[in-house]
Structure 1
Amino acid sequence: MTLKVGISGLRGTVDGTGERLTADTVVAWVQAFVGYLQSQGCTRPLIALGHDARRSSPALAALARGALLMAGADLLDLGLTLTPTVQHAVRRDSRIDGGLMITASHNPLIWNGLKFVDEDGYFLPLSAWDAIGQRIDDATLPAQPLDQVGHALSWGEEAWQAHQRAVLAALPRELIRAKRYRVALDACNGGAARWVEPLRALGCEVLLLHSEQDGFLAREAEPIPANLAALRSLVLSSRSDVGFAADPDGDRLALVDGAGDAVSEEHTVVLAAQAVAQRGDRVVANVVTTHALEGALPGIEVIRSAVGEMNVVNAVLAHHAVLGGEGSGGIIVPPMNMARDGLAAATLILTLMAQRDAPLKTLVDALPRWQAVKEKLPAPADGSGQLAALMQRWRTAVPTVQAEGPSTLRVGDGEATVRLQWDDQQLTLVVEQPDSRFESRTPVAPLRALLTRLRDRAEPLTIDMTDGLKLSGNGAWLSLRASNTEPIFRLMGEVAER
């Protein structure tokens, strides 16, 4: 059984195909999580449990609930909720030792997963994952004495009310209320339908879309422009000031402006940062988030982290940043929630619109123009592991980069090389090491301008090995990474418009 295990949790399919997430798997990982907490001194852990609205989630949550109780853990059951609500509940209540959210976030409906968080509401560090993984083979439902079986308490309403209060408390509420915004909200058939309450508390008229919680998704789960046709239509027909689109577990946000145009998901973090950052502040973004940040935030230090919520949060804490974010639309606002929080992001967009007394379209049009490229290459068997290991080695022994002719960029250290070779039709990734070699291909058309800009630079390219390989220079950048959640390589980059 092969599951996708990453720093935020594990995911698998529930339809009997592919990387299966079975009942046995859920029980084993939950039991191992409880065992890990007990090994850390929590004799009788108190755990917050929630799930999203996808079809398989209530059943998997019931399995997890039983496994937690039979392992001797006590339970605060949030029911159908949002990932940032679970994280906020754990962080604000010192009694809670950890959290578990049943969700596959933005993955398609046939996927589901487990997201574990520690006593601070953060996703588990890699050391914890290693410790839990070592317990999987021994994880069985123990025969507990009756007085050791855990107790459960419904906690969904208390957790949600505390979450929305924390968000609202950090806002210029009267400034936003005075604008009387009309908001179209695409809840992606999940818990984000409850965003209606804080939005109305901010004086907004809210029109709901895809709010039915029947276990199915009325659109693709990922909140990106390609999936927002219905929201765009609603914004236009209702003459809304802005459209907000969530993903199924509410940790990401996409935008539609008042003209009905979908805004790049890369711009969510830029606009949110403009709402809170002042000269001298620090903002954190991962290495593949738009470089429009630097241009849009004069006098503000932009710190780049590795990809993944845990990495962004750690950098926010280390650098005392006022905001952290990723180009996927996940925003971390410390006074509100130390987790990616779509509701927090939405309220910051309203804040910026009110502060500048400007429609969203005007704010977006004023941002530095970078043309984004996001492509996927299939990873051959063990290719992801080989590339990730090479990237890790190059973090301490940074390679060199050079152009080889008109259509090749070569990165290497004498022992291993990564080549990007292109012709009129294809881009070929070639990875060579002393004991292995593999290739992967994708159409070159979306990447041609970016590759040409990097090739034609006047100064040496900058190499950043924070997370994968990133080449920057001549008003362009390109990142190559092995995905943490799919058997693919990700090529992401931007070209500045001149």
Structure 2
Amino acid sequence: MTLIKSISGIRGTIGGVTNDNLTPLDTVKFAAAYGVWLQEYAKKDKLKVVVGRDARLSGEMIQNLVMSTLIGLGIEVVNLGLSTTPTVEIAVPLEEADGGIILTASHNPKQWNALKLLNEKGEFLNAKEGALILKIAEEERFNFAEIDDLGIITENDAYIDIHIDHVLSLPLINAETVKKANFKVVVDGVNSTGGIAIPKLLEEFGVEVVKLYCEPTGHFPHNPEPLKEHLGAICEKVVKENADFGIVVDPDVDRLAFICNDGSMFGEEYTLVACADYVLGKTPGNTVSNLSSSRALRDITEKHGGTYKAAAVGEVNVVIEMKKTKAIIGGEGNGGIIYPESHYGRDSLVGTALFLMLMAERGGSVLELRNSYPSYFMSKKKIELTPELDVDAILEKMAIKYSQEQVSTIDGVKVDFKANWVHLRKSNTEPIIRVYTEAETQKEADTLADKIMEEIREVSGI
């Protein structure tokens, strides 16, 4: 069982003992720390926080604990109930709230849950802000409200519909264009809130929807991370239904993957590539993804005359770089689409709409679209180290070894070779180095990864 305290929030497994798991006591402590930080940060007498959750089994319990803690601090809570991560992000500024909490462990299995923390813009907190909240929690520096100053809870279950209306109003989105295409789409909502939001959105575009695992019961029918090895059922369903394509989201609907019309994976790395292709074709500009994302985004960006930049891994880092470079679209290679015209957060509803527009205007099949893009293959491996080894020193040696190549050290070590790249990152929770590579064939990517892993063993003496 695990409790992970990071700058982006608190993530842990349900049950067990305090301080090692996400128990009710830990939930209250970190919700209180966030509330106290807001009081000190906002410097206002009356605060408002938006709270929403995915459909996982522990969600209602965790949400009740969080909301009760916040009103105990005198904070007003807007309860969205079952929602999505991007829906809560949109709701925060619309409610003129001071922050937001999303209760979701994203793609993690059912025993996990988490408190994801937002600022008044509906964006994830930065490292400094997250560190302050962890410090408040450690010191248990809480001062709860007296009886006449308790907060209140108001319910608002309309925000998924508001979110859909927001997507439909975006300048590059035209529902009538998509309706003419008469698409048929299979949706895997992994029995969470994507099963509510994505079919509703598709129906607004006149899409015939075939639902698969769209009941928000929280009983995930497969591993909820939208990877090829978990998606056999929808791949078969797309072919059986003669659908145009399939859509898969994770439990909180910030990661988006597509299934081609022949049942093959479009590739979650290419979700961002396709959406960027559409946006850049309409409004030329710059793009950003993280260092571990496919080189294909760079290729598409340059094809459209824009400039591509790579940020450190993590949504908040991508957003910072996007604002710095005035990027018009960005995200992460795990299927996360960030479109600033909408908001600075990964959003599968926005990504779905952009993809529908691309397909409606371009015509042809989804498989043909995938085959039109530069083809790269990734290898994702890890090398285990003994705890006493200095991982930073090992990475520094690898950077020196390849200093004649294009090297980035903003997040571990990334070495860009002419035809491929390798990205080395240390884990924050265990003594391992993650080794990601990308090349023009799977064999080349695997061979490069194995070569680098052997060199790490040599420089570390293991």
TM over 0.5: yes
Per-residue CA deviation, residues 163-221 of structure 1 (Å, 9 max, x unaligned), is: 11111112122211110100100001111112111211111011111112222100111
Deviation of the 1:380 alpha carbon: 4.1
Give the number of the structure whose residues are more often helix, by fraction. Answer: 2
Contact persistence 2:36–2:142 (CA under 8 A): no
Q: 2:407 aligns with which of 463, 467, 471?
A: 463
**What's 1:343 paired with?**
349
SS at match of 1:134: helix
**What's 1:495 paired with?**
439
Contact persistence 1:401–1:461 (CA under 8 A): no
Q: 1:227 aligns with which of 227, 230, 233?
A: 230
The one-letter code of the counterpart of 2:176 is E
Q: From the superposition, tell whether residues 489 and 216 of structure 1 become closer, same or farther in structure 2 (CA, over 3 Å).
A: farther
**What's 2:285 paired with?**
281
Q: From the superposition, tell whether residues 178 and 485 of structure 1 become closer, same or farther in structure 2 (CA, over 3 Å).
A: farther
Deviation of the 1:490 alpha carbon: 1.6
Q: TM-score, normalised by structure 1?
A: 0.82
Per-residue CA deviation, residues 388-417 of structure 1 (Å, 9 max, x unaligned), is: 5876xx6xx994225xxxxxxxx7xxxxxx
Partners of 1:488 and 1:77 in 2: CA distance: 40
**What's 1:316 paired with?**
322
Contact persistence 1:23–1:60 (CA under 8 A): yes
List alignment gaps of at least 5 residues for structure 2.
445-462
Partners of 1:146 and 1:379 in 2: CA distance: 53
Partners of 1:236 and 1:320 in 2: CA distance: 40
Q: Is 1:212 equivalent to 2:242 in the alignment?
A: no
Q: Is 1:46 equivalent to 2:13 in the alignment?
A: no
Q: 1:172 aligns with which of 171, 174, 184?
A: 174
Partners of 1:143 and 1:7 in 2: CA distance: 24
**What's 1:415 paired with?**
none
Partners of 2:335 and 2:431 in 1: CA distance: 23
**What's 2:183 paired with?**
181
SS at match of 2:387: coil
Q: How does 1:403-442 map to 2 (within 5 A)?
A: none
Partners of 2:97 and 2:236 in 1: CA distance: 43
Partners of 2:408 and 2:418 in 1: CA distance: 15
Contact persistence 1:331–1:344 (CA under 8 A): yes
**What's 1:418 paired with?**
none
Q: 1:72 aligns with which of 71, 74, 85?
A: 74
Q: How does 1:66-145 map to 2 (within 5 A)?
A: 66-93=68-95, 95-139=96-140, 142=143, 144-145=145-146
Per-residue CA deviation, residues 318-355 of structure 1 (Å, 9 max, x unaligned), is: 22111011110011011223200111111211111112
SS at match of 1:328: coil
Contact persistence 2:243–2:261 (CA under 8 A): yes
Deviation of the 1:108 alpha carbon: 1.3
Deviation of the 1:19 alpha carbon: 4.3
Q: TM-score, normalised by structure 2?
A: 0.89
Q: 1:253 aligns with which of 232, 256, 263?
A: 256
Q: 2:417 aligns with which of 473, 488, 491?
A: 473
Q: From the superposition, tell whether residues 311 and 206 of structure 1 become closer, same or farther in structure 2 (CA, over 3 Å).
A: same
Per-residue CA deviation, residues 256-305 of structure 1 (Å, 9 max, x unaligned), is: 01111112211111111101014741011111110112223312211111
Q: From the superposition, tell whether residues 272 and 485 of structure 1 become closer, same or farther in structure 2 (CA, over 3 Å).
A: farther
Q: From the superposition, tell whether residues 136 and 388 of structure 1 become closer, same or farther in structure 2 (CA, over 3 Å).
A: farther
**What's 1:9 paired with?**
9
Q: How does 1:189-200 map to 2 (within 5 A)?
A: 189-193=191-195, 194-200=197-203
Tell me how many residue pairs correspond in the alignment: 434
Q: From the superposition, tell whether residues 226 and 286 of structure 1 become closer, same or farther in structure 2 (CA, over 3 Å).
A: same
SS at match of 2:423: strand
Give the number of the structure whose residues are more often strand, by fraction. Answer: 1
Contact persistence 1:471–1:477 (CA under 8 A): yes
Percent same amino acid among aligned pairs? Answer: 32
Partners of 2:369 and 2:20 in 1: CA distance: 43
Deviation of the 1:143 alpha carbon: 5.2
Per-residue CA deviation, residues 12-32 of structure 1 (Å, 9 max, x unaligned), is: 111428941111111111111
Contact persistence 1:166–1:335 (CA under 8 A): no
Per-residue CA deviation, residues 35-69 of structure 1 (Å, 9 max, x unaligned), is: 10111113332000111111111111111111111
**What's 2:401 paired with?**
401
Q: From the superposition, tell whether residues 380 and 43 of structure 1 become closer, same or farther in structure 2 (CA, over 3 Å).
A: farther
CA RMSD of aligned residues (A): 2.3
Per-residue CA deviation, residues 344-376 of structure 1 (Å, 9 max, x unaligned), is: 111211111112112110010111111211113
Contact persistence 1:245–1:253 (CA under 8 A): yes
Contact persistence 2:74–2:144 (CA under 8 A): no
Contact persistence 1:8–1:309 (CA under 8 A): no
Per-residue CA deviation, residues 213-252 of structure 1 (Å, 9 max, x unaligned), is: 2221001110111111111111111111010000000000
Partners of 2:11 and 2:246 in 1: CA distance: 29
SS at match of 1:156: coil
Partners of 2:82 and 2:178 in 1: CA distance: 29
Q: Is 1:326 equivalent to 2:332 in the alignment?
A: yes
The one-letter code of the counterpart of 2:317 is N
**What's 2:306 paired with?**
300
SS at match of 1:277: helix
Partners of 1:220 and 1:356 in 2: CA distance: 33
Q: Is 1:263 equivalent to 2:278 in the alignment?
A: no
Partners of 1:379 and 1:28 in 2: CA distance: 33
Q: From the superposition, tell whether residues 488 and 76 of structure 1 become closer, same or farther in structure 2 (CA, over 3 Å).
A: farther
Contact persistence 2:15–2:23 (CA under 8 A): no
Q: 1:364 aligns with which of 348, 370, 373?
A: 370
SS at match of 1:337: coil
Partners of 2:192 and 2:11 in 1: CA distance: 18
Contact persistence 1:10–1:114 (CA under 8 A): yes
Partners of 2:264 and 2:226 in 1: CA distance: 14
The one-letter code of the counterpart of 1:306 is A
Deviation of the 1:96 alpha carbon: 0.1
SS at match of 1:343: helix
**What's 2:147 paired with?**
146
Partners of 2:268 and 2:58 in 1: CA distance: 28
Q: From the superposition, tell whether residues 127 and 273 of structure 1 become closer, same or farther in structure 2 (CA, over 3 Å).
A: same
The one-letter code of the counterpart of 1:293 is L
Contact persistence 2:337–2:346 (CA under 8 A): yes
